Structures are given as C-alpha cells and as structure tokens.
Amino acid sequence: MFDKKIYIKRREQLKKKIKTGLILFPGNDEAPMNYADNTYKYRQDSTFLYYFGLDRAGLFAIIDADENKEIIFGDDFTVNDIVWMGKQPTIKQLAANVGVANISSLSQLESFIKKAISQGRKIHYVPQYRYDNMLKLENLLGINANAVNNYASIELIKAVADQRSIKSNEELKEIEKAIEISYVMQTTAMQLARNGMVEREIAGFIEGIALSMGNGLSFPTIFSKHGETLHNHSYNNILKNGDIVVNDSGVESFNHYSSDITRTFPVSGKFTQKQKEIYQIVLDAQLAAIKTAKPKITWRSVHLKSALVIAEGLKALGLMKGDMRTAVNEGAHALFYPHGLGHLLGLDVHDMENFGEQYTGYSTKILRSEQFGLKSLRYGKELMPGVVLTVEPGIYFIPELIHQWEAEKKFVKYINYNKVKNYIGFGGIRIEDDIVITSKGCRVLGVPIPKSIDGVEAMSSEKI
C-alpha cells in the first residue's frame, strides 16, 4: 500500500472529472476452487486498488460526488474468523489507512444505493469482469447481470482510463521491482534448461521465484519450445539440444504492479545459424521500435515500423520479396508477425483491458484496424509521457497459417512460400521489454535482461 496521501489525491482528481452522482467501486470477493473454504489466490480489483488501496475481500467503496464524501462498506471479522485467520484490522482502521473518514456495514449498502436511485441520482461504475460482481450490481441496481456492462458509465471509464494511463514515479518504481524479479526468472530459466528436461520443470521453478520474491505471477507463464503458438500454456514438451524456448512471463510486485518480459533462448546455450538470423531480425525490430517511440506519434506507427524492419529482414533471407512498404501496408508480413507490438502495463498486465480497448487503446480519431495482425494491436493511439507499454515483436512459423495462405495464393507477390516451408518446425521468437514514454522518447524500465545473441548465449551456457 502507498501512503494514504496518494489515494486521497487520486480520488480528488477523479472527483474533478465526475462531479455528480455516485461512483461505485465493487471490491472482489474470494473465489472458491471446489468448495467455499478452498479458494483461489485472492486478487483485489485493480480499480479498487488504485483509488482505495485495500487488498482485502468483502469490501465495497463509494464516492458520493454530490456530497463530496467517500464511504467504505465492509464488516469486521468475527472471533470465529480470527480463530482461523489471526487478528485483523477493523474496517475503521483500514479506511483510515487510505484517508477515508466514513465507513458502514455491508448490510447498509443496498438501502444506500437504492435511496440514491429513488432520488434520480446518477450511478457510475466501470465494466465488470467477475460474475459475482455483476450479480451484486444486479441486486443493487435492478439491472440483469448479463446486461450490467451495457450500462457502465462511459464518462467514468474515460476519466479512470486517462488517470491510470499516466504512471507516477511511485508506480514506475513498483513496475521496476517486478522487473527485477523477472530478471531472476528469465536468467534462471536460461541456466536451468538442458537436454531432456520437461518444460514444466522450469515453468514451475520460475513460478516459485515469482511467489518467493513477489506476489506471484501477473499472468500464466508462456514457456514452450513451440513458440509459434502465441499463448502456449502447455508445459509437457521435452527439451532437446537444438530447440529454442520462448519464456513470456511476468510477476506482480507486492503492490500488484506487473512486469511482462519475454526472452527466447537456446536449450544448448548456442543458437544455430538459422536461429541467429531470425533472432537478429526480431531484436532489430524491437530496438527500432524502442528508438522510435516518443510523445505525439502514434503507437500504431511504431508497430508498423517494427513490422517493416521484420519484413525487410525476411526479404534479405529470401522469405519475402517485392516492395516491403507496400507489403506491410497490405498486411503480408502478418504471416510471420500476427500480433501487435505491445499493450498497456500497470496494475493489470493488460492494463484496464476490461474497460474496452476502444476507450484505453483507441479513440474517435484512431480506430482499430480490421486487417489480420494489425487488428490485434491493443493500443494504437498517440503516445504521452508517463504511458507504460510492452514492446514485443516476434517472428513465428505457424504451419496451419502457412498452408492456408499458400492454398489461397495469398500475397504470392510478397511471400516466397517454397522457402518459407523450409522453416516449418522452426517455432517462434519473441523479445519483450517494458518501456515508459518520456518527454523526449522512452526509457526501458528495470534492470537490463540479456537479449543480444552473445548475451543470451553466454547466460544460457552457464548451466546450474
């Protein structure tokens, strides 16, 4: 938890934009795995954390913009609870820790909100992603749970997204704490991997690092020698010398800020010549994107710059042909690079994605593309100082996609399918770092994690 002055300031800033009505902040409750007392690891809602900072189940908060009053609703633990959990702070103590003067029991929440509705007051809330919170709002607001998000406040979404998009120094420090742990996770994976190991042996070990040094994973780890599958959560493959492994993983700091780092490394400690050639193209694309990113240009243009570097590199290897600017404009490169350059990062690993990317990543002036590959760019709008993004270009050889495009004779003037088919079985390569936009450019956050060919080979050769 930050100093209470930070949460007070955040709420004051929000009240300057939302000047009337009630702003609702449903906190998350425990989620049972298979019976009520056996729950998944608890995670508080990120918007609740941003404004109220309390990492505890059973809470609901309201900002009454009309009365300039904030209330936290919750119940103190009973002695029966304390027997199992130990002594716990009271709701009054928790509220005081984040600068909130007013508290009430959860039993009073329904009557409080329904009275406001009867008075014709406006009710604001952001879209919900947990079904239990949708059911809470159904009960409180009289809106069918399946339709709750249809009535989310656009005014509030935009206000919160504007505020949360610009990271403070305190937030950047938290992200960098998470990246320090990612450094250990990434370098340990490189040093552990060896011929004959099963992927899960390493994936499980680095999850242990995330739990022992931080607040656990920020998302399920992608760790696979089949890097051509972008979100591969299966860890059952046996590693062999000659394989390359994609390790896309992240961790939460104790204040729930995320890292998201990807490295691709050789099991044997040495890339083959073919692997080096593709790896260097991806690295060149990432470095070009980092160099290009700065205020007042769009992230879409940075993405397209990375795509052009990839296309030119593949052309030099004979995999693509023709005019690469035209090829990228038409989307031919997406056979190899079918995703976006990166996404917002913060309290969520895909920050505020539940709000809808039309509000967080795009605008009325910059709309999401419908082109394959480019449509997967989660953030496209103009960059501003304080925005934190991932930079994660990649090259993948996806057999099913290659065969489909060749059968359809798609982009035959740009793609040399005969040569591309020689790379089936290669897998994929992705390299990812986290950046913050500065006044003149951008800064790569955190401690540098090896990513040059020499650096990755050196780390992967130091087996433990």
What local confidence, expressed as pLDDT, does residue 59 receive? 98
- Read off the pLDDT of each residue in 25-54 and give the average, rounded to a whole number: 97
Percent of the chain with pLDDT over 90: 97
Tokens read off for 145: 């749970």
Q: Which residues, in sequence order, are bridge partners of residue 71?
A: 62, 102
Tokens read off for 175: 């992200």
- Read off the pLDDT of each residue in 190-210 and give the average, rounded to a whole number: 98
What local confidence, expressed as pLDDT, does residue 161 receive? 98
Percent of the chain with pLDDT over 70: 100
Distance, in Å, from the CA atom of 123 to the CA atom of 306, rounded to the nearest integer, reads: 43
- Read off the pLDDT of each residue in 147-174 and give the average, rounded to a whole number: 98
**Class level of CATH domain 4-165:** alpha beta
In sequence order, the 6+-apart residues with CB closer than 8 A to the CB of 111 are: none
Q: Is the pLDDT of residue 444 over 90?
A: yes
DSSP string, 293-341: --TTSBHHHHHHHHHHHHHHHHHHTTSB-S-HHHHHHHTGGGGT--S-S
What local confidence, expressed as pLDDT, does residue 426 receive? 98
124 near 23, Cβ under 8 Å? Answer: yes
What local confidence, expressed as pLDDT, does residue 85 receive? 87
One-letter-per-residue 3-state SS of 374-438: HHHCCCCCECCCCCEEEECCEEECCHHHHHHHHHCCCCCCCECHHHHHHHCCCCEEECEEEEEEC
Confidence of residue 312 (pLDDT cuts 50, 70, 90): very high
Confidence of residue 80 (pLDDT cuts 50, 70, 90): confident
What's the predicted TM-score (pTM) here? 0.96
pLDDT tens, residue by residue, 383-424: 999 999 999 999 999 999 999 999 999 999 999 999 999 999
Instruction: Provide CATH 3.90.230.10 ranges for the chain.
Output: 169-461
| Triad 254, 259, 264: Cα angle to 5° | 140
Instruction: Provide CATH 3.40.350.10 ranges for the chain.
Output: 4-165
Tokens read off for 427: 């897998």
pLDDT tens, residue by residue, 169-196: 999 999 999 999 999 999 999 999 999 9
Q: Which fold has domain 169-461?
A: Creatine Amidinohydrolase (3.90.230)
Tokens read off for 386: 């304080």
What local confidence, expressed as pLDDT, does residue 369 receive? 96
Q: Cα dist. 289→59, 293, 299, 424 in Å?
A: 42, 6, 9, 27
Q: Cα dist. 346→60, 257, 380 in Å?
A: 22, 5, 17
Average pLDDT, the chain: 97
340 near 379, Cβ under 8 Å? Answer: yes
Q: In 3D, which of 263, 236, 279, 201 has the Cα closest to residue 464?
A: 201
In sequence order, the 6+-apart residues with CB closer than 8 A to the CB of 325 are: 308
| Triad 133, 135, 137: Cα angle to 5° | 70
Residue 150 phi, psi (nearest 5) = -65, -20
